[in-house]
Copies of this chain bind each other. A is one copy, B any other.
């Protein structure tokens, strides 16, 4: 269970309750099944709509104030010096789950030197490594086969065809994380967010 809510939180068609580490009236933040770099998290509106233009002004404002607060926290906690913030807004821009989400990826100098340089993160985001939809479907299939719990898609809404970049740096050793590992990280980051709020770091 999430430390933050008794409600079921869904990201597209997928139940992600145990991955959620921050909730506001209109937005939520979740840890990733397969982070591209340490601290790679997502922020979404609570209302599941596919496109950025679907959001109300109040949702836009809440979403990006949340992105800002979460960004500060992950940059600090993961000892980073910069951030990539990106929205793939629509299938033809590489979106893999039809629920608006901002990627927040903490960056450090030379962190991707081994993978081709700073911008390798985009290839990773766009390649199979970053295909959130495929990863969540894979976890759901495992859960159905009795290998775990959670992450069950309620229907096929999570499926979209998606252009792929031929992965230059396909790291086949990168396994999806287990529920426990994600929940532990979510609890840790939830505590950090609460600490920021109490200390006034985020106000």
Residues of A that sit less than 8 Å from B by CB: 52-53, 55, 57, 60-61, 63-65, 68, 71-72, 75, 80-95, 105, 107-111, 116-120, 122-123, 125-127, 162-166
B85 near A92 with CB under 8 A, answer no
A95 near B82 with CB under 8 A, answer yes
Query: Measured between alpha carbons, how far is A72 from B126 in the docked complex, in Å?
Result: 23
Residues of the B chain whose Cβ atoms lie less than 8 Å from the Cβ of A95: 82
B71 near A81 with CB under 8 A, answer no
Residues of the B chain whose Cβ atoms lie less than 8 Å from the Cβ of A68: 52-53, 55, 57, 60
Residue of B nearest to A54 (CB): B68
Given contact pairs A116-B166, A118-B162, a sample of 8 additional A-B residue pairs in the complex whose CB atoms are under 8 Å apart: A61-B64, A82-B91, A83-B87, A84-B88, A84-B94, A94-B119, A119-B122, A123-B123
Report copies per complex.
2
Query: Measured between alpha carbons, how far is A71 from B54 in the docked complex, in Å?
Result: 12
A-B contact pairs, 17 of them (CB 8 A): A52-B83, A53-B68, A60-B61, A64-B64, A81-B92, A82-B89, A82-B95, A84-B93, A85-B86, A86-B87, A92-B107, A116-B166, A117-B163, A118-B162, A119-B125, A122-B125, A122-B126
Contact status of A90 and B82, CB under 8 A, knowing A119-B122, A123-B123:
yes
